[in-house]
A and B are shown apart, each in its own frame.
Chain A
Amino acid sequence: AIRMTQSPSSFSASTGDRVTITCRASQGISSYLAWYQQKPGKAPKLLIYAASTLQSGVPSRFSGSGSGTDFTLTISCLQSEDFATYYCQQYYSYPELTFGGGTKVEIK
């Protein structure tokens, strides 16, 4: 199975900061990558698919980039509602789908 490694696993940031989360695949997955946001006690929410396409209704401060094995999720200006855990997911190696371990964004 393709292994997805996210970094960092957690970090602290302040409102207004620009933050970047990285996700690395153990082998090439083209652009078959999604990013999800999860808040405590809630279901994950799709933010980005196909590595860089913003899901409908998601604020434009979120963006994704990358292809092959290295991907990034960027939040251009962190808002209070963005403090959450973020997961990447590959769907290239179907149906053996895999998620990254998650990155928790905490308030500094």
Chain B
Amino acid sequence: QVQLVESGGGVVQPGRSLRLSCAASGFTFSSYAMHWVRQAPGKGLEWVAVISYDGSNKYYADSVKGRFTISRDNSKNTLYLQMNSLRAEDTAVYYCARQSRRYYDFWTPGDAFDIWGQGTMVTVSS
């Protein structure tokens, strides 16, 4: 079935790095733009980053720009989020999500997120 499974979360000290992965199955991963969305404990959803279906376009929320890098390996059906210089305020559950339209034309009005992973918890604490 169509599925996204995140991994790589954990407890990390401020200033350190962590890489999250999101394994896709049940659909043609290479046809879809993919996103990371996070949710701090007891808070709402915050969009983090997006990557186009072919990896040629990427964009980040201001809160993570310059520290986080989104990437993908379409041969492995896997999405990544490299998180550097982590801060306490990065503590959250991180979800990967699929944008619903295939071969989406970046920089035009987009689409909803129709498939979400179960999330992976990242805790930044000394």
Chain A residues close to B by CB (< 8 Å): 30, 32, 34, 36, 38, 42-46, 49-50, 55, 87, 89, 91-102
**B96 CB to closest chain A CB, in angstroms?**
10
- List chain B residues, Cβ under 8 A from A34: 112-113
Q: Lowest 7 CB-CB distances: which A-B pairs, in order?
A: A34-B112, A49-B112, A95-B59, A43-B116, A91-B110, A94-B110, A99-B45
Interface of A is mostly: loop
Shortest beta-carbon distance, B5 to chain A, in Å? 11
Whole-angstrom distance between the Cβ of A91 and the nearest chain B Cβ? 4
A99 touching B47 in the complex, CB below 8 Å, given contacts A43-B119, A44-B95: yes
- Do residues B114 and A44 form an inter-chain contact, with CB atoms below 8 A? no
- Name the CB-closest residue of A to B49: A95
Give the tally of cross-chain contacts (CB within 8 A): 69
A93 to B106, CA, bound (A): 11
B-to-A contact residues, CB < 8 Å:
35, 37, 44-47, 50, 59, 61, 95, 100, 106-114, 116-119
Contacts of A95 in B (CB 8 A): 50, 59, 106-107, 110
Chain B residues in 8 Å Cβ range of A43: 95, 116-119
| Complex partner residue of A46 from B37, B109, B113, CB under 8 angstroms | B113
| A99–B109 touching, CB < 8 Å | no
Do the beta carbons of B110 and A46 come within 8 Å of each other?
Answer: no
* Residue in contact with B45 in the complex, picked from A92, A94, A102, CB distance below 8 Å: A102
The answer on a CB contact under 8 Å between B109 and A49 is no
**Contact yes or no, A94 B107, CB < 8 A:** yes
Report the Cα distance A91→B108, complex, angstroms: 9
Q: For A93, what are the chain B residues with a Cβ–Cβ distance below 8 Å?
A: 109
Query: Knowing A87-B45, A99-B45, A102-B44 touch, does A92 contact B109 (C-beta < 8 A)?
Result: yes
Give me 22 A-to-B residue pairs in the complex whose CB atoms sit less than 8 angstroms apart, sorted by A's number: A34-B112, A34-B113, A38-B45, A42-B118, A43-B119, A44-B116, A49-B111, A50-B112, A91-B110, A91-B111, A92-B110, A93-B109, A94-B106, A94-B109, A96-B59, A96-B61, A97-B35, A97-B110, A98-B47, A99-B45, A99-B46, A102-B45
